[in-house]
Chains A and B, each alone.
Chain A
Amino acid sequence: MGIFFSFFMVIMIALIAYLGVAVANLHMLFGIIIPYAAFTAFVVGFLMKVVKWGRSPVPFHIPTTCGQQMSLPWINYSKLDNPSCTSGVVSRMILEVFCFRSLFRNLKTGLQDGNISYGSDKWLWLAGLAFHYSFAVVVVRHLRFFMEPVPALINIIDSLDGFLQITAPHFLLSGGVLLLAAGYLFFRRVSNPQVRYISLPADYFPLFLIIGIALSGILMRYVAKVDIIQVKQFTISLVSLQMSVPEGIGVIFFIHLFLICTLLIYFPFSKLMHMGGIFLSPTRNLANDSRIRRHVNPWNPEVKVHTYAAYEDEFREKMKGAGIPVEKE
C-alpha cells in the first residue's frame, strides 16, 4: 500500500511540474516563488526542530555503554564506546556520524535446527554509507551552479567525481552511486519481509523522491540535455536576488527543481531529520561519567519518602529484640 501511494505521489509531483511549466507556463511560480519558499521552509523548519530538541532537557544521564568502563587504572577502558570524557564523546560521535559505527555492528540472526546463529551483516551499513556520501558529493558539486567563480575545491571534487572520463559530458560517479544505493535501500525494504512489514509510506516517499531527483538529474545531463549556461545564469540570479524569469530551459529542469523543492519542504517534518537528531541523541553524546560528576535534572521533583524515623517507629521493638541499634529507646 505504502509503496504505491508514495510512488504515485512522486509521479504526481513530477507531473505537476510538467503541467505547470510546459502547459500553464508558470515559470515564475516554479522557477522563483516555490524554490525560495522551499529553501526558507527547509532552513526555518530544520532550525526550529533542532532548537526545539536542543532546548528540551536531558534530565538523566543515559549513555549506552558499548565497551569497558573507565575504572581501575590497570584496566584498559574503551574510550570510544564508553567514553569518560569529552574527547572520547567527540570521537564517538565523529565515528558515528561519519562512519556509521553502530550500524557497522549489524548482525543477522537466524534459527537453524533449534540453534540460533549470528552472522555479520554489513550491507545496510555499506549501502547507507554509499548513499549518504554520494548524496553529499552531489550536493557539494551542485554548488558550482550557485557560485561564480567556481571555487577550486568544487572543481577538484567535480574532476575526482568524473575521473573515469567516460561519456561526454564525463560521467559523474556520485550520481550513479546515489541511484544504485537508493535502489538497493528500496530493494531491501521490499525484499526483506521484516523490513517491509515495518515500512510506512513515509519510508518509501523520500526514497522515491530522491530516486526521482537523481534520475531527472542524470537524464538532464546525459539524455534530454538542457542549456547549462542558461541554468547557471538562472541559479546565479536566484542567489544574487536578481531574479530573472527563466525561459527556454527544458521542462525536465523544472521537474528536477520541483522534486528538490518538495524534498526541502518535506525534510523538517519527516524522519529525514535524523540528520539533525543524531547529534543530540543522549545515549550517544554523553560520557559515562555519572559517578564522577553529578548530572543535574532541571525539573528534579520533590517526592514523598519513607523516612528512617517512620521505619524505626514501626519496627523498634523487633529491632531491639534482634539486637539492632535504634535511635530512640
Chain B
Amino acid sequence: MAKGTPKPEELISSIDYNPPKTGWTETPVNFAEGTFCHGARPSYLETVGFPNAREWAPADEDWKLPENWKEIFIEAMGERLKKYRSFQLFMDICVRCGACADKCHFYIGTGDPKNMPVLRAELLRSVYRKYFTAAGKILGKNAGARELTIDVLKELWYYYYQCTECRRCSVFCPYGIDQAEITMIVREIFNLLGLNTDWIAGPVANCYKKGNHLGLEPHTITSNLEYLLDDIEDITGIRIEPTFNRKGAEILFVTPSGDLFGDPGTYTAMGYLMLFHELGLDYTWSTYASEGGNFGFFTSMDMAKRLNYKIYAEAKRLGVKWILGGECGHMWRVLNQYMDTWNGPADFMQEPVSPITGTRFENAKSTKMVHITEFTADLIKHGKLKFDPSRNDHLNVTFHDSCNTARGMGIFEEPRYIINTVCNNFQEMADDAIREKTFCCGSGSGLNAGENMEIRMRGGFPRANAVKKVKEKFGVNMLANICAIDRAVLPPLMDYWVGGVSVCGVHELMANALIMTGEKKRTQDLRLEDLPNVEEDPETEEGKEETA
C-alpha cells in the first residue's frame, strides 16, 4: 500500500453523502495527494505521436498547455458532437432525476457529489450549454452554462480520470445515458492537449512498439512462459511446448500480457496452457499481437484502433482460421463492440468452430473471435474434459463479474458454469452487486497506478464490501474473475478492505481440477501450494489417476 493511504476506518468515516454547502460550480477541485495519476512523460506521447509532449504534473499551477487550448477543446467537442449521436444525445436529454447518483463506486466510496455520474456529466454539459446552445449563450448561468476556464478544465480532468468507464450508471439511467461514453470522448479531447496520464501512456507506447503493455520483447515472452511451463511440469509431470508466431496454425490465441507476467495472472496463463495441451489444440501464440487489452481505448478511439489492428493483421499473416481470446475485461468490450468496426471485415478467416466438439460459435461469426469461457463451457458441456473438483476443496469461491464483460457483452453464465463444474464450493455475492449490477474494482480504465491508491481503495470499496459479506457469511477465500486488470488490482483491494481473500482467474480453477492425460499424481495446485486431502486419502487419489 502506498505511503500515506488512510486506514480503512479513517477512509470510511470520511465518507459523507451530504453535499457541501456551496453549489457545485462554486466548489473548487482539490488535487489531493493519492487521488490522481501522474502526468504522462513526454517520450511516451512522442512514441505514438500524441500532441504537446512535455514534462508536467497535475498538481502544478501551470499545465503548460498550448496557447489556444480553449479553441482546441471547443472545436474538438463540436466535432465529436457531430460524429457521435450518443454524445449529442447524452448532452441534451438528461433530466437530472438522479437515478444514477448513488450507483457509481467512486461516489459511494468518496461521497464527493461530483462523482455522481449525473454531476460528472454536468461538469461538461455546462460547457456544452455555453458554447453550443442558444439558451446557454443568451441566459448563461440561469441556463446552467459555464465558461471554460482553466479551473473548469482542471476539474474536468480530475473527475474524468476518476471514472473507470464501468457503465454501471448506464444500467440505471432511464435513457441509457452512459457516462463511460462521455468520459471516453472527453479523454480524447484531453489527449489533444497533451493531458494524458503516465500509467496509460506508458502501456500505449509499449503496446504500439512491442506488441504488449508490459513492453515484453519477443524473447522475453517465450522465456516468461518457460517459467510457467517449468512449474506445470513440476506439478503435473507433463512438459508442454507451445508455439509462437507459427504460420498455418488453426487458432491464434490472444490474451492480456498481464497473464504472462504477474501473479496471479500467470496461474491463469498456466491454465490456458494446460487446457490447450490436453486438447491437443492446433494453436499459436503471437509475440507481435501479444496483447488483448487495449490501453489505447483510454486515450482515443483512433489509438485504440491502432493497437487493435495487430490482432487481425497477425491472424491474416499467420493464416489462422479463427481467434481465441483469454480472460480480460476491457479487451472483451473492445473486441465485442469495436474490433470488427475498426479493423474488419475479418473475411480472411472462417466462422469459428470448436475442433474438439464441432460447435459453431454463431455469436462470433463476423468477428471470428471466441471468448475462452465460451470455448471451455462448450467443452465441459460435451464431456470432453475430466475434472477432480476436490482439488479445489481448499477454496471457497465467489465470482466477480468484470464491468466490461458484464455491461459491454453480457457474459455471465459461462464462467459460472465452469466454476460450478470445477469447484465444490461456490457462493454468489448479493444480487445488487453482481451481473449487470456488478461493481468495478475501482482501478479500471487505466487508473491502476500506484500514486492514486487512496482513490482506488475508495472506488473499490463497494466491490470489497460485497466480498467481505460473503467472506463473513460463507467463509469465502477466493475471488474469481475473468479480467487481467482485476487480477492485478483486486489483491491489494482485498488486503486493504477484507483480508484473507485471494484472487484468481477462472482458468486457474479449471486447470487445478483438470485431469490431464498422463499426468503424475498431483500434490500441488498451480500456486505450488499443497493440495488438500492428498495425504488423508491417497488411495482415492490414485484411483482417480488411473481412470484418467
Determine whether the beta carbon of A62 is less than 8 Å from that of B222. Answer: no
A303: Cβ under 8 A from any B Cβ: yes
In the complex, the chain A residue whose C-beta lies closest to that of B135 is A269
Determine whether the beta carbon of B363 is less than 8 Å from that of A291. Answer: yes
Which residues from chain B sit less than 8 Å from chain A, CB to CB?
9, 12, 15, 17-19, 23-24, 49, 81-86, 88-89, 92-99, 101-103, 108, 113, 116, 118-119, 122, 133-135, 142-144, 167, 170-178, 181, 208-211, 217-219, 222-223, 244-247, 287-288, 301-302, 305-306, 309-310, 313-314, 317, 335-338, 340-342, 344-345, 359, 361-367, 369, 374, 377-378, 381, 406-414, 417, 430, 432-433, 435-437, 461-462, 465-466, 468-469
Determine whether the beta carbon of B341 is less than 8 Å from that of A324. Answer: no
Interchain CA distance A71-B102 in the complex, whole Å = 32
Partner of B211, one of A128, A303, A311: A311
Residue pairs across A and B with Cβ atoms less than 8 A apart, 25 shown, are A59-B83, A64-B436, A65-B407, A68-B410, A69-B410, A71-B374, A82-B410, A84-B363, A102-B171, A103-B174, A111-B12, A115-B465, A194-B113, A198-B122, A202-B144, A278-B174, A291-B366, A294-B366, A297-B341, A311-B210, A315-B218, A315-B219, A318-B217, A319-B287, A322-B218
Interchain CA distance A319-B377 in the complex, whole Å = 35
A328: Cβ under 8 A from any B Cβ: no
One of A217-225, A245-253, A281-289 contacting the partner: A281-289
Interchain CA distance A215-B86 in the complex, whole Å = 37
CB neighbours of B93 from chain A (8 A):
271, 273-274, 277-278, 281
Interchain CA distance A124-B101 in the complex, whole Å = 13
A81: Cβ under 8 A from any B Cβ: yes
In the complex, the chain A residue whose C-beta lies closest to that of B118 is A198
CB neighbours of B369 from chain A (8 A):
291
Interchain CA distance A208-B198 in the complex, whole Å = 49
CB neighbours of A324 from chain B (8 A):
218-219, 222, 244-245, 287
CB neighbours of A52 from chain B (8 A):
88
Size bracket, chain A contacts? 35 or more
In the complex, the chain B residue whose C-beta lies closest to that of A203 is B96
Interchain CA distance A194-B417 in the complex, whole Å = 40
Interchain CA distance A301-B342 in the complex, whole Å = 9
Determine whether the beta carbon of B287 is less than 8 Å from that of A60. Answer: no
A5: Cβ under 8 A from any B Cβ: yes
A193: Cβ under 8 A from any B Cβ: yes
CB neighbours of B305 from chain A (8 A):
301, 303
Interchain CA distance A67-B329 in the complex, whole Å = 16
CB under 8 Å from chain B, chain A span 50-96: 52-53, 56-62, 64-72, 74-78, 81-82, 84, 96
A268 → chain B, closest Cβ, in Å? Answer: 10
Determine whether the beta carbon of A107 is less than 8 Å from that of B103. Answer: yes
Partner of A281, one of B24, B177, B366, B436: B177
